[in-house]
Amino acid sequence: MNHTSYAALFHGPNAPWEIRSAVIEPPQDAQILVRVLACTICGSDLHTISGRRQAHTPAVLGHEIVGQILAFGPRAPRTDAASGHLQINDRVVWTIVANCGKCFFCQHNLPQKCQEGYKYGHQQVSEAKCWHGGFATHCTLLSGTHIVKVPDAIDDLVAAPLSCATATIAAAMRTSHLVEHETILVIGAGMLGLTACAFAHTHPTQTLVCIEPDEHRRMLAKNFGASQTAPPNSLMLNPNDSSFPMGFDAVFECSGTNAGTLEAIRLVRTGGRIVLVGAVFPSEPAPIVIEQIVRKQLSIHGVHNYQINDLLCATDFMEKHNKKFPFKELVQHAFALDQIQQAITCAQDPQNIRVAILP
């Protein structure tokens, strides 16, 4: 093997992108070399690029990746997380964090918080020979990465977000312990919120409402299963309203805003559950009245990334339901790797839920 790989290096907010090349080395030990088929630009990439989120540079960003296996290192696993056989040319996604399996957090079912973990698309480039992010033609998977084969029914552009947005929502659903015929509220209709609507819709729900300020996104939420949508602060709890008289049984906060969390606390029913998913960048403190949490007997869970089974669940969900909900239409624009700046500018437009890089 002796061809060249290319990566778009991030040097910090406002610094120009650098396209760097490297001669590809065969994968070592337990590494697996994949060709990046598509990488969608996640909201957290945009937070890093704008400087809202700290990053060590230079870095190869991009972590919503679908790839194709090109080569196995001599000790690389030949089975995926579902015990399926892995071979050259398989289309795959993988856990966002390669984890050690032995540390405190790995032992406590939090592999995404592994103390020895490597987070794809987030870390400083350490060696020039291989890349570990999606804004590159190739990505080298490290030991401790849990790989999931992508079923043929899932298009590349729909598969790319599996390893971040989709799996995170699978984790949020698991955490929420939904049961049948509940009233569900999703706050925010970006990629996380729309995916949450789709997941929730596949449960038999009593009602599924989505709160979102943008009219276009509210329309999308309807296409992803919301029975009702509303702008923020417009829903009032009314005991005479049969759809959610007491408030919502479960609320998924996907907007990442303080206002969204305050709205969640206002609209959740007494004894209800709130899952906070969206707030993944530093923000101002929110004026929360703790007494409300106590008096309403709320359960509030933060969910950041996911466990391996959540990625399997996300892939299974997408195999079954990707035609039922217009996931593919959420990726309206795609760019080549050397158009990275145009791709980022496009992704920063709130009208675009996801923008893809096709390296």
Quick note: the x/- pattern for Zn ion over 115-154, rule CB under 5 A, is: ----------------------------------------
Query: Is residue 44 part of the contact set for Zn ion (CB under 5 A)?
Result: yes
Q: Which stretch binds Zn ion (CB under 5 A): 47-55, 69-77, 111-119, 194-202?
A: 111-119
Instruction: State the nearest-atom distance from the C-beta of 228 to Zn ion, in Å.
Output: 28
Cβ nearer to Zn ion, comparing 99 with 261: 99
Q: Which CB sits closer to Zn ion, 106 or 198?
A: 106
The yes or no reply on residue 42 touching Zn ion (CB under 5 A) is: yes
Report the Cα–Cα distance between both ends of the chain, in Å, rounded: 19
Tell me which of 164, 170, 185, 194 binds Zn ion, using CB under 5 A.
164
Q: Is 99 in the site for Zn ion (CB under 5 A)?
A: yes
| Tokens found for residue 105 | 């957090």
Q: Which is nearer to Zn ion, 44 or 205 (CB)?
A: 44
Instruction: Give me the phi and psi of 234, to 5 degrees please.
Output: -100, -20
Q: Does 40 bind Zn ion (CB under 5 A)?
A: no
Chain Cα centroid distance, residue 208: 21
If binding is defined by CB under 5 A, does position 112 make contact with Zn ion? no
Burial of 289 by CB count in 10 Å (0-12 exposed, 13-18 middle, 19+ buried)? exposed
Listed ranges 29-37, 41-49, 82-90, 316-324: which one lies at the site for Zn ion (CB under 5 A): 41-49
If you ran DSSP here, which 8-state letter would residue 2 be given? -
Closest distance to Zn ion from the beta carbon of 77 (Å): 17
Cβ nearer to Zn ion, comparing 159 with 164: 164
Strands ordered across the beta sheet of 228-230: 228-230, 207-211, 183-187, 248-253, 268-276, 299-302
Q: Which is nearer to Zn ion, 24 or 191 (CB)?
A: 191
Residue type, 236: M
Q: Which of 34, 60, 98, 106 binds Zn ion (CB under 5 A)?
A: 106
* Cβ distance to Zn ion smaller for residue 299 or 309: 309
Q: By CB under 5 A, tell whether 39 contacts Zn ion.
A: no
**Nearer Cβ to Zn ion, position 43 or 247?**
43
Answer for which of 33, 37, 93, 114 binds Zn ion (CB under 5 A) is: 114
H-helix or E-strand spanning residue 263 = helix 258-267
Q: Which residues pair with 228 in a beta bridge?
A: 209
* DSSP codes joined into one string, 293-347: HHHTT-EEEE--S--HHHHHHHHHHHHHHTTTS--GGGEEEEE-GGGHHHHHHHH
**Residue 163 within binding range of Zn ion, rule CB under 5 A:** no
HSE of 205 in the Cβ direction (CA atoms, 13 Å)? Answer: 27
User: Residue type at 289?
Assistant: V
Instruction: Between 51 and 84, name the residue whose CB sits nearer to Zn ion.
Output: 51
Comparing CB distances to Zn ion, the nearer of 113 and 296 is: 113
Instruction: List CB contacts of 39: < 8 A, sequence separation 6 or more.
Output: 62, 63, 64, 65, 66, 133, 134, 135, 160, 356, 357, 359
308 binds Zn ion (CB under 5 A): no
Is 100 a binder of Zn ion (CB under 5 A)?
Answer: yes
Binding site for Zn ion (CB under 5 A): 42, 44, 99-100, 103, 106, 114, 164
